[in-house]
Amino acid sequence: MVDKEPVQLVSQTLTIQPGLDLPQLNTKLQQADALEIIEWTAQTFGDGMVTTTSFGIQSAIMLHLVTQVVPNIPIIWVDTGYLPPATYRFAEQLISDLNLNIKVYQSIVSPARMETLYGRLWQQNDVEALNRYDQMRKVEPMQRALRELGATVWLAGLRAEQTAHRKTLPVLDQQGAYYKVHPILNWTVEDVDRYLTQHDLPYHPLKEKGYATVGDWHSSRPMTEEDEHERETRFQGMKQECGLHLPATPSEEKSLDSSSL
């Protein structure tokens, strides 16, 4: 939630080590508010901290929260090359207004080369084609960004109510070689509205056109009365996760079956 009483967090002298007690830390962090979680992350991981943004519907929240604590934090933006024009304009607005230290990463395969070799993967009505698209345009650039920026911990603005997989996440987790922190995991839609209003922050402009979530132009659409959940408007309703927030190894990912999340 947005408003909580301050709590006593764990020692500021914690260091990154294989024996980091995730259950114990999660017990403490579950009781903390978003800013306290971000402050603890900065104290614990120091220069290894990065965050990510998609410049999606509510992205201004995490960008505002994180830069209050670490103003110059590297902010990874994976640009697929297929974002709506409104997203690129929204990104420029937030980069300027919040003075963001943006690190743009893209696939090593250009859109034209990808379409020539594999066709328009998003039109093939096949989950495996969508997974190939996501791996090429999103997952590989993200993993490269984490390596090149020397990240040890990744702050992400996931919320539990967004997908079935996200309901299972703790505040502090591990994903592959990296720790992952979710400061607004337990925020509701009401919390999101309240924070944006209190801090005079904008939603993505496509919200006014009925979008509850927005990604690439070809795989996002406005919500309709028939949609039971916002993620049905992404990836032709065939999957809920693009792969960025799933385990990195094939064996781990198979257990979650990203195509059915």
The Cα 76–Cα 59 span in angstroms is 12
* Upper half-sphere CA count for residue 195 (Cβ side, 13 Å): 22
The Cα 214–Cα 222 span in angstroms is 9
The Cα 244–Cα 258 span in angstroms is 10
- The tokens describing 132, both together, are 């190939």
Write down the catalytic residue from 65, 242, 244, 246.
Answer: 242
242 part of the active site: yes
CB 132, CB 121: distance < 8 Å: yes
Other C-beta atoms closer than 10 Å to the C-beta of 249 total 9
Edge-to-edge strand list for the sheet holding 153-155: 102-105, 75-78, 49-53, 153-155, 178-181, 172-175
Instruction: Give backbone dihedrals phi and psi of 185, rounded to 5 degrees, phi first.
Output: -55, -40
- The tokens describing 59, both together, are 């992205």
CA dihedral 153, 220, 222, 188 (to 10 degrees): -10
Instruction: Give backbone dihedrals phi and psi of 102, rounded to 5 degrees, phi first.
Output: -80, 135
Residues with catalytic annotation?
242
